[in-house]
């Protein structure tokens, strides 16, 4: 349950501003202007604080209470880039074979340790996959080999193991899926705060998942109804 107590503006106004910013290629000043036309005089800096405060929590509520179905055990994993304080950092992402979003994570490094952390996070949320398709990155392959070694030491391999596939044409789907996030991050100059970056990207991913129909009531509710319902 999200806590809107103590806010000057109502929950409805806050949620409307959040949806506008997270759903469309708008700046904070654009959202400020639209909200003003709708009778709500909200400063763009206030809208930014709302995104930083609530976007990640909304994605968490959706992930734990509203996901439509379990993802498939065949994953596609890849990383893309976002800018933080003028430097490129890495956004790890994974989808299943149907294109549903599994997991995402921002990291300042692109190495075996970061890939391993990402896979552990994804497995903790969705269980052990049967297959994972990655690119030719040695770090991603090494992370999966390490996880298979852990399964061997636990005495469950090969009954439980991860089939590692490095096939570029199979990974095209997630490379295309990055566009939904890059469409929002590319026009920006970058993020100044790590916490703000994580929260904002979580909001972008949330809207992306709603558009993919991953909400449990996707067939009976519009996307904006699904979004507003997260704060009910």
pLDDT at 203: 97
pLDDT at position 38: 93
- Walk along the chain (232 residues) in steps of 10 and give the mean pLDDT of each run: 80 95 95 95 95 95 76 89 95 94 95 96 92 91 95 84 86 91 87 96 96 90 93 85
Cα–Cα distance list, 101 to 110, 204, 221 (Å): 20, 12, 20
3-state secondary structure of 30: helix
Provide the token pair at 79.
Answer: 């990383």
Domains of the chain: 11-67+215-229 (no CATH), 74-191 (3.30.420.10)
The DSSP code for 170 is G
The answer to whether 144 and 112 have CB atoms below 8 angstroms apart is no
Alpha-carbon gap, residue 18 to 24, rounded angstroms: 10
pLDDT at 69: 64
- The answer for residues whose C-beta is within 8 angstroms of residue 202's C-beta and 6 or more apart is 55, 56, 58, 59, 60, 104
What's the CA gap between 16 and 52, in Å, rounded? 15
Phi/psi of residue 81, nearest 5 degrees: -120, 145
């Amino acid at each position: 349950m999200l806590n809107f107590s103590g806010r000057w503006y109502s929950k409805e106004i806050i949620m409307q501003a959040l949806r506008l910013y997270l759903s469309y290629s708008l700046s904070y000043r654009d959202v400020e202007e639209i909200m003003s036309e709708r009778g709500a005089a909200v400063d763009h800096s206030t809208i930014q604080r709302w995104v930083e405060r609530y976007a990640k929590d909304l994605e968490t509520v959706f992930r734990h209470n509203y996901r439509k179905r379990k993802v498939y055990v065949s994953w596609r994993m890849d990383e893309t880039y976002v800018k933080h304080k003028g430097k490129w950092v890495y956004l790890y992402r994974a989808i299943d074979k149907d294109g549903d979003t599994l997991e995402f994570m921002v990291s300042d490094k692109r190495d075996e340790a970061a890939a391993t952390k990402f896979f552990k996070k994804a497995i903790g949320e969705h269980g052990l996959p049967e297959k994972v398709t990655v690119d030719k990155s040695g770090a991603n392959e090494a992370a999966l080999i390490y996880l298979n070694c852990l399964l061997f030491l636990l005495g469950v391999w090969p009954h439980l193991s991860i089939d590692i596939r490095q096939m570029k044409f199979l990974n095209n789907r997630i490379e295309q899926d990055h566009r939904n996030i890059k469409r929002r991050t590319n026009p920006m100059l970058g993020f100044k705060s790590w916490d703000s970056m994580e929260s904002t990207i979580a909001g972008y991913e949330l809207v992306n998942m709603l558009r993919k129909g991953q909400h449990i009531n996707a067939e009976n509710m519009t996307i904006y109804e699904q979004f507003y319902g997260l704060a009910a």
